[in-house]
Amino acid sequence: MSSSTPFDRSNAWAIVQEHVESPNLRKHMLCVEAAMRDYAGRLGQDVESWGMAGLLHDFDWEIHPTLEDHPRKGEPILRDRGCPETVIQAIMAHNTEGTGVERQTAMDFALLACDEVTGLITAAALIRPSKDLREVPLKSVRKRWKEKAFAAGVDRPHVEEATEDFSRACFDGNLELWQHVGNVLDSLKGIAADLELDGRLAKS
């Protein structure tokens, strides 16, 4: 890509299509994109760059499927394609243990806080008879929080810690966990069709 050509969402989506085959992983990345775009708007930040961080954050998981390699080994691909440095920073900082890159910016803190919680929300939609995310109330997600078998892959303590860090960094400590989950839930309702969680699965 020419250095004079701005990197935009279409470039980011092309990278996802090239490196991600799993429909579920693509949907997860769309979820995090939606949540990031929503928070960028709330915080007066650049919606496009925040969205791209969400969309690209796991782009290399299938080719580098370990926390030691992801996304460290994917970084050169993003840089070669002209991905903005702020976006690369956020993606690297969402796995500090593997990359050594600490969270610094609001985007960095938001990305980690929005990542795993999306899995909890989509799981809540899938257990409803309607399979419609737009019908999921926050109380349903909250009710299932303590059920270890529900969305078992979601690390609850990690979600709590990432939310607390995001709250301190961007909301003066005033964003509490269930307010955050509610914000992410609302953002995902807007892309229910893209996630195939608009009731169609109940009819198939």
How many domains is the chain partitioned into structurally? 1
**Domain contains 1:** no
Q: pLDDT for 112-164, tens place per residue?
A: 999 999 999 999 999 999 999 999 999 999 999 999 899 999 999 999 999 99
The answer to whether residue 186 is domain-embedded is yes
Flag whether 48 is in a domain: yes
The CATH number of residue 186's host domain is 1.10.3210
pLDDT of 63: 96
Q: Are 175 and 163 in contact (CB under 8 A)?
A: yes
Q: What is the number of other CB atoms lying within 10 angstroms of the CB of residue 21? A: 9
Name the token pair of 42.
Answer: 């709330």
pTM for this prediction: 0.95
Structural domain containing residue 155: 9-203
Give yes or no for a contact between 188 and 34, defined as CB atoms under 8 angstroms apart. Answer: yes
Which pLDDT tens digit goes with each residue over 65-122?
Answer: 999 999 999 999 999 999 999 999 999 999 999 999 999 999 999 999 999 999 999 9
In a domain, 134, yes or no: yes
Give the model confidence (pLDDT) of 43-70 as tens digits.
999 999 999 999 999 999 999 999 999 9
Distances (CA, A) of 139 to 91, 136, 144, 181: 31, 8, 9, 10
Of 109, 69, 117, 76, the residue nearest 93 (C-alpha): 109
Q: How confident is the model at residue 174 (pLDDT cuts 50, 70, 90)?
A: very high
E strand or H helix that includes residue 134: none
In a domain, 19, yes or no: yes
Is residue 3, in this structure, part of any structural domain at all? Answer: no
pLDDT of residue 204: 66
2 within a domain of the structure (yes/no): no
Per-residue pLDDT for 4 more than 80? no
Q: For residue 2, is pLDDT > 50?
A: no
Question: Per the domain annotation, does 136 fall within a domain?
Answer: yes
Q: How many residues does the chain have?
A: 204
Is the predicted pLDDT of residue 10 greater than 70, yes or no?
Answer: yes
Q: Does the pLDDT at position 1 exceed 60?
A: no
> What single DSSP character describes residue 64?
S
